[in-house]
Amino acid sequence: MKTKGFIFDLDGVIVDTAKYHFLAWKNLANSLDFDFTETQNEQLKGVSRVESLKKILAWGNKTVSDAKFQELMTLKNTEYLEFIDNMDESEILPDVPKVLDYLIDENQGIALGSASKNARRILEKVHLLPKFQSIVDGNDVSKAKPDPEVFLNAATALNIKPEDCVVFEDSVAGVQAANTANMISIGIGSQDVLYEADYVFKDFTEISTEFLNKIINN
């Protein structure tokens, strides 16, 4: 059996945290007297915290000092973490543990490749941390997706060549990062949005062991 590296994005792939990011960003925007919509939130998928705040302030036509910017980043994250601290296993997206356990049984490399600086905390809350051999998150990279840095670091951590790695991603930027890294990209979400991916599935319930075997043995 060949060993491939399977790299999972976190937000939108393992757990649906987009709703918590949305609530925290919306409250922040409202406190600055403008609104923030679900459509705008969609555009922040896979986007780092600092880039997200820059975009939100631009949408609201606000310019702030560097000190205020830092204060807003902290405010948003403090509120976001209140939601995170109430998370448990029930928030893991369908069939994620099944796929992880199958890949572990098949001796495949498993890593996390996320833009989030809260990744470890979230994996701990949903009790999935022990399933990952390596974690590469927002604390470990200097360039955000679509730059491939996060996935290339994950491949290095697994000691598996990039071309033998497979990435599960729900964001366009993440799919592009995986493609640039020369990895197989698997989009989780809608084909209309993630058409640049090598494969797209609505969620993990659509991913069969036959499909995983095909990827492992290719």
Q: Which residues are catalytic?
A: 9, 11
Which residue's CB is nearer to Mg ion, number 189 or number 216?
A: 189
> Does the protein bind ligand BG6 through residue 97 (CB under 6 A)?
no
Pick from 49, 92, 113, 152: which binds ligand BG6 (CB under 6 A)?
49
Residue with tokens 């290095």: 156
Q: Report how far residue 13's alpha carbon sits from residue 22's, in angstroms, rounded to the nearest whole number.
A: 16
Taking CB under 6 A as the criterion, which residues in 126-165 touch ligand BG6? 138
- Please answer whether residues 9 and 185 qualify as being in contact, where contact means their C-beta atoms are separated by less than 8 angstroms: no
- Please answer whether residues 11 and 117 qualify as being in contact, where contact means their C-beta atoms are separated by less than 8 angstroms: no
Taking CB under 5 A as the criterion, which residues in 116-175 touch Mg ion? 170-171
Taking CB under 5 A as the criterion, which residues in 59-78 touch Mg ion? none
Tokens of 45: 């998928």
Buried b (16+ CB within 10 A) or exposed e, 63-72: eeeeeeeeeb
Which residue's CB is nearer to ligand BG6, number 162 or number 174?
A: 174
Q: Please name which of 179, 187, 208, 156 lies closest in space to residue 9, comparing C-alpha atoms.
A: 187
For the chain, how many residues are written?
Answer: 218
Which residue's CB is nearer to ligand BG6, number 114 or number 179?
A: 114
Q: Which stretch binds ligand BG6 (CB under 6 A): 42-50, 158-166, 185-193, 204-212?
A: 42-50
For Mg ion, the binding residues (CB under 5 A) are 9, 11-12, 170-171
